[in-house]
Chains A and B, each alone.
Chain A
Amino acid sequence: MSLLEVRDLSKSYGGVQAVRGVSFDLDAGERVAMIGPNGAGKTTCFNMLNGQIAPDAGSIALGGRPLAGLPPRKVWRLGVGRTFQITATFGSMTVRENVQLALLSHHGRLGSLWPLASDAHVEEAEALLERAGVKELAARACAVLAYGDLKRVELAIALANRPRLLLMDEPTAGMAPSERGDLMRLAAELAREARTAVLFTEHDMDVVFEHADRVLVLDRGELIARGSPGELRADPRVREGYLGDA
Chain B
Amino acid sequence: MSGSAILLQFLNGLAGASSLFLLAAGLSLIFGVTRIVNFAHGSLYMLGMYLAVWLSESVGFWPSALTAALAVAALGAAIEMSLLRRLYPVPELLQLLATFALVLIARDFALWAWGPEDLLGPRAPGLEDAVEIAGGRFPEYDLFLIVVGPLVLAALHLLLTRTRWGILVRAATQDRDMAGALGVNQKWLFTEVFALGALLAGLGGALSVPREPANLTIDLSVLSDAFVVVVVGGLGSIPGAFLAALLIAEVKAFAIGLGFSKATLVVEFIVMAAVLVLRPWGLLGREAAPLRGPAALEPPLALPSRNVLRALLALAAALALVPLLSRGYALVLLSDVLVFALFAVSLHFITGPGGMLSFGHAAYFGLGAYGAGLLLLRAGAPMEAALVLAPLAAGIGALAFGWFCVRLSGVYLAMLTLAFAQIVWSVAFQWDAFTGGSNGLIGVWPSAWLASRTAYYYLTLGACLAGIAILWRVLYSPFGYALRASRDSPLRAGAIGIDVRAQQWAAFTLAGLAAGIAGALYAFSKGSISPETLSVPRSVDALVMVLLGGIQTLTGPAWGAALFTWLQDSASREFDYWRAVLGAVILALVLALPGGVGGLLGGRSTR
Contact = CB atoms under 8 A, between A and B. Distances in A.
Contact of B476 (A77, A117, A141): A117
B479 A50 contact: no
A90 B492 contact: yes
A84 B496 CA distance: 12
A157 interface: yes
A114 B496 CA distance: 21
Contacts of B473: 114
Given A90-B489, A117-B478, A101 B299 contact: no
A15 interface: no
B82 interface: no
Interface in A64-110: 71-73, 76-77, 81-82, 84, 88-94, 97, 100-102, 104-106, 109-110
B289 interface: no
A88 B478 contact: no
B495 A141 contact: no
A106 B297 contact: no
A104 B498 CA distance: 10
B123 to A, nearest CB: 52
A175 interface: no
B496 A113 contact: no
B324 interface: no
Contacts of A52: 491, 494-495
Interface string B471-502: 00110111111101100110111111111000
Interface in A95-136: 97, 100-102, 104-106, 109-118, 120
Interface residues of A, number: 42
Contact of B498 (A88, A110, A160): A110
B476 A116 contact: yes
A18 to B, nearest CB: 17
Contacts of B492: 84, 88-90, 157
Residue with the greatest number of chain A CB neighbours at <10 A, chosen from B301, B303, B478, B496 = B496
Interface in B493-537: 493-499, 503
Contacts of B489: 88-91
Interface string A39-57: 0000000000011100000
B481 A157 contact: no
B140 interface: no
B477 A116 contact: yes
A72 B476 contact: no
A92 B298 contact: yes
A92 B478 contact: no
B495 A92 contact: no
B296 interface: yes
A33 B165 CA distance: 50
Nearest to B481: A117
A94 B303 CA distance: 13
Contacts of A81: 495
B495 A101 contact: no
Interface string B284-308: 0000000000011111110100000
A117 B488 contact: no
A243 interface: no
B395 to A, nearest CB: 15
B477 A73 contact: no
B573 to A, nearest CB: 41
A82 B482 CA distance: 18
A201 interface: no
B496 A101 contact: yes
Residue with the greatest number of chain B CB neighbours at <10 A, chosen from A84, A100, A114 = A114
Contacts of B496: 73, 76, 101-102, 105-106, 157, 160-161
A110 B299 contact: no
A115 B477 contact: yes
A143 interface: yes
B481 A101 contact: yes
B494 to A, nearest CB: 4
Contact of A90 (B303, B479, B480, B484): B484
Contacts of A51: 494
Contacts of B482: 101, 104-105, 110
B477 A88 contact: no
B485 A93 contact: yes
B91 to A, nearest CB: 15
Contact of B495 (A72, A93, A100, A118): A72
Contacts of B494: 51-52, 71-73, 76
B280 to A, nearest CB: 15
Nearest to B482: A110
A226 to B, nearest CB: 27
A50 B476 CA distance: 29
Interface in B442-473: 473
Contact of B303 (A71, A76, A93, A118): A118
Contacts of A92: 295, 298-301, 484, 488
Contacts of B295: 91-92
A115 B484 contact: no
A50 B497 CA distance: 11
B478 A112 contact: yes
Contacts of A97: 300, 481
B497 A76 contact: yes
Contacts of B495: 50, 52, 72-73, 76, 81-82, 84, 88, 158
Residue with the greatest number of chain B CB neighbours at <10 A, chosen from A52, A111, A157 = A111
A157 B492 CA distance: 9
Interface string A133-157: 0000000010100000000000001
Nearest to A103: B496
A77 B497 contact: yes
A105 B485 CA distance: 12
A71 to B, nearest CB: 7
Contacts of B478: 101, 104, 109-112, 115, 117, 120
A97 to B, nearest CB: 7
Nearest to B475: A117
Nearest to B477: A113
Nearest to A116: B476
Contacts of A104: 478, 481-482
Contacts of A71: 494
A141 B497 contact: no
Contacts of A90: 484-485, 488-489, 492-493
A199 to B, nearest CB: 15
Contacts of B488: 89-93
Nearest to B479: A113
A88 to B, nearest CB: 4
A50 B492 CA distance: 12
Contacts of A106: 496-497
Residue with the greatest number of chain A CB neighbours at <10 A, chosen from B297, B298, B300 = B300
Contacts of A161: 496-497
Nearest to B488: A90
Contacts of B481: 93, 97, 100-101, 104, 117
A116 B304 CA distance: 12
Residue with the greatest number of chain A CB neighbours at <10 A, chosen from B296, B479, B484, B492 = B492
Residue with the greatest number of chain B CB neighbours at <10 A, chosen from A72, A77, A116 = A72
Interface string B223-259: 0000000000000000000000000000000000000
B477 to A, nearest CB: 5
Given A89-B492, A93-B484, A113-B474, A143 B497 contact: no
The 8 closest A-B pairs by CB, nearest first: A88-B492, A72-B494, A90-B488, A92-B298, A117-B481, A105-B497, A76-B497, A102-B496
6 contacts: A90-B492, A91-B297, A111-B478, A111-B479, A112-B478, A141-B300
Given A89-B488, A89-B489, A109-B478, 7 more contacts: A50-B495, A71-B494, A84-B492, A93-B484, A93-B485, A110-B482, A112-B478
